[in-house]
Chain A
Amino acid sequence: MRKWLLALAATALGSVSLAQGKLEIFSWWAGDEGPALQALLDLYKKKYPNVEVVNATVTGGSGVNARAVLKTRMLGGDPPDSFQVHAGQELIGTWVVAGRMEDLTSLYKSEGWLTRFPKGLIDLLSYNGGIWSVPVNIHRSNVMWYNPAKLREWGVTPPKTWTEFLSTCATLKGKGVEAPLAVGEAWTQQHLWESVALGVLGPDNWAALWSGKLKFNDPKAIAVWDTFGKVLDCTNKDASGLSWQQATDRVVQGQSAFNIMGDWAAGYMVTTLKLKPGEGFGWAPAPSTSGTFMMLSDSFGLPRGVKNRANVINWLKLLGSKEGQDTFNPLKGSIAARTDSDLSKYNAYLQSAARDWKNNKIVGSLVHGAVAPESFSSQFGTVMEIYLSSKNSRAAANAAQAIADQVRLGR
């Protein structure tokens, strides 16, 4: 512990350029998300010019490939200096419980972060008396996207509840829209499920599901599957062949009316498709979830036994700083986890998200690792498969509970 503080003091004193050696950053940010990471790495290089920064990116599948590679590295005794991981249970349930991470509480204290990040977020990052990672950004999961011009043309408005959604869906089908709601490959269907579940259950029961207080086979939770089934009837049949971007494209091109996707979709539409927020595309909270912010966050931690520990600590400090967060997030299309960021740097969508981040009730995402450990979330695909092949809500609910028991969810 003392050695740790000494190292901290040493790096704090020699604020520039004393640091040497390497720093390997492991992430799944590539393609459209690459420039945001690059800007951060550039900032780091400017501060610590003598450190060789290695950008180890593994692309694909919203990080699923990267996480598999990360595991082989960790099992193989070759941990990267710092790796991207979804804040919350994905980090805690996989790496913290296995004793592979260092506690960052003292870093939080020395950097004054305890008051800069919302308490709800710090709770998600904490376990067993420690804080285990530094969140770089916040994304919102429960957002519904639409094309304002097309909605006007069809004469419908974004539905506020799932009941309303289903009647809008019927209206649109009557007007020849084959699939009013666009979805893509397996994980995007689960993503849709979590918005349905949050809407049907409400934020408190959603949280109770993950603390183990509400069982998956409770009638309230079974009802989620009933609604989900009806929502699925509004979706495209070729879902599993589409990436999330292709599903978003369906809305932009007017083949579908709505798409429920995390707000990285805004980044895609602004940066890649060059659409203007509010004009080229519109957004609303997913039906029945207004006033709730279902969050997910990318974070970085400090694995035990890394080669370049001091450099990692400098990296984490940069990530948590206002400068770091405001460099990264406008490019990434996400908002800062800090509550004091400079909103003028962000686009219209992000400004609205940042307001909600401050005022809404915060809950965590299942698919993106905030509320459930990987052992649960990765097997949730099996639950989904049981539902899709049987259309039996009770069977799916029982399967979910069986997996929850198996992985000791909430214990």
Chain B
Amino acid sequence: MKWLRNLDSLVAVLTLLPSVILLAIFVYGFIGQTIQTSLTNWGKDPAQALAINPVLQFVGLENYKELFSGFIHGRFRQDLVNNIFFTVFFVGGCLLVGLSLAIILDRGPKGEGFFRTVFLFPMSLSFIVTGTIWRWMLQPAGGVNQLPAAVGLPEGRFAWLTSRQQVLQFDWNHLPLFTAWLIGLILLWIGISALRNAQVRRGWIAVGSAALLIGWAIFIGPRVQLLPFPEIHGFNLAFIGIIIAAIWQMSGYTMALYLAGLRGVPEELREAARVDGASEVQLYRRIILPMLAPITLSAMIILGHISLKIFDLIWAMTGVDNAPTEVPALLMYVTTFRSNIIADGAAIATILLLLVALVIVPYLYSQLRSEVRR
């Protein structure tokens, strides 16, 4: 359509304008204000915390520095670790459960519609409802732990939501080292596979950066100390119950995504593979699963950003101030509305936003770019 040839195009833009302005204020304006708040000392002085017109001072990145290195902010760092572990297990679990169910349903068992309905219905519930139900399911001496007793076995003893055990422990000071190794090895793998495919420039850049990172990790990394003291973090077993509840709620979503993907695999392709003598297992491994890779990526990103924001589910399952099952989204609430340290709350919110943006922005970019190409 030829732009601005006529009045209608102007009307179109004017019609969109209110929404654009609203979102500009509510998203970007408010994020800006939150970042601004995170650079002040709002709440550090109780007399200013809840005053009608608080007098604030600019403190730069001090709050962030404190969160990542201050002694009393170890709780924030554990919360971050909690959230990362939660994300890995939750997303992994949903993908696994969703994919298995989708493959089975795709083969058209009897009662397919019924099963689909059953697997998807938790998606329509609120996290608060799910949390309330599972809180009762996971009572220390009842619910799931009583299930074996119902069929005559000894009852379970696992402290689902109350365990204080921690596994996979590591020292926070080693974090840069681990990260460097991880990213280094991934880059190395990317580089080598690129070189194999004769993408010379890309390959050497990846290999070069990998060498830099790994070199750093070997020669400098071990001596890096983030904190002046050792600080152990790990995966809190109390999260297992929350992860199960979250998978219960969200795996239907991955199932629906995969099912849509599987339905898109043309029957001729399957036939052709079978004619070529591929077994069913090979058919899935060699042909169908690779075709589902983009779906896996989408699902990982959507679920990943949901799990970084997880808030209501944990609130309903273990309450707001249960440290072993806390995540930054909850800590932000507690810091702001209980401790009244609003600047720290804003800083935590900003860090959360950055984490989510890290996942979402590249995704949005690639999605919309591929759309333009299409």
Contact = CB atoms under 8 A, between A and B. Distances in A.
A contacts B directly (C-beta below 8 A): yes
Interface of A: 61, 64-65, 67-68, 71-72, 74-75, 77, 93-95, 97-100, 185-187, 237-241, 373-375, 378-379, 381-382, 384-386, 388-389, 398-399, 402-403, 406-408
Contacts of A186: 319, 321-323
Interface string B308-345: 00000000001111111000000001100111110000
22 contacts: A61-B320, A64-B320, A64-B338, A68-B333, A68-B338, A94-B340, A95-B50, A97-B46, A97-B47, A238-B162, A241-B159, A241-B161, A374-B339, A378-B334, A378-B338, A379-B339, A381-B323, A385-B75, A399-B71, A402-B72, A406-B72, A408-B45
A241 B162 contact: yes
Contacts of A97: 46-47
Contacts of B45: 408
A349 B245 CA distance: 44
Nearest to B166: A389
Interface majority SS (helix, strand, loop, mixed), chain B: loop
Contacts of B357: none
B338 A240 contact: no
Q: Interface of chain A, helix or strand or loop or mixed? A: helix
B296 interface: no
8 closest Cβ contacts across the A-B interface? A238-B140, A68-B337, A385-B323, A97-B47, A378-B338, A241-B162, A98-B50, A98-B51
A71 B337 contact: yes
B176 interface: no
Contacts of B341: 375
Nearest to B45: A408
A95 B50 CA distance: 7
Contacts of B48: 98
Interface of B: 43-52, 71-72, 74-75, 139-141, 159, 161-162, 164, 166, 232, 238, 318-324, 333-334, 337-341
B52 to A, nearest CB: 7
A381 B321 contact: yes
Given A98-B50, A241-B161, A385-B75, A61 B340 contact: no
A237 B163 CA distance: 8
A398 B74 CA distance: 13
A381 B44 CA distance: 18
A71 B319 contact: no
A93 B339 CA distance: 11
Given A71-B340, A185-B322, A382-B72, A94 B44 contact: no
B39 to A, nearest CB: 18
Contacts of A237: 159, 162
B141 A61 contact: no
A93 B338 contact: no
A379 B321 CA distance: 10
B71 A74 contact: no
A217 B289 CA distance: 59
B72 A399 contact: yes
Contacts of A408: 45-46
Given A64-B320, A67-B338, A240-B324, 11 more contacts: A61-B320, A61-B321, A64-B338, A95-B50, A98-B47, A100-B52, A237-B162, A241-B161, A374-B340, A375-B43, A379-B72
Interface centre among B232, B333, B340 (most CB of A within 10 A): B340
A185 B51 contact: no
A67 B49 CA distance: 15
A99 B319 contact: no
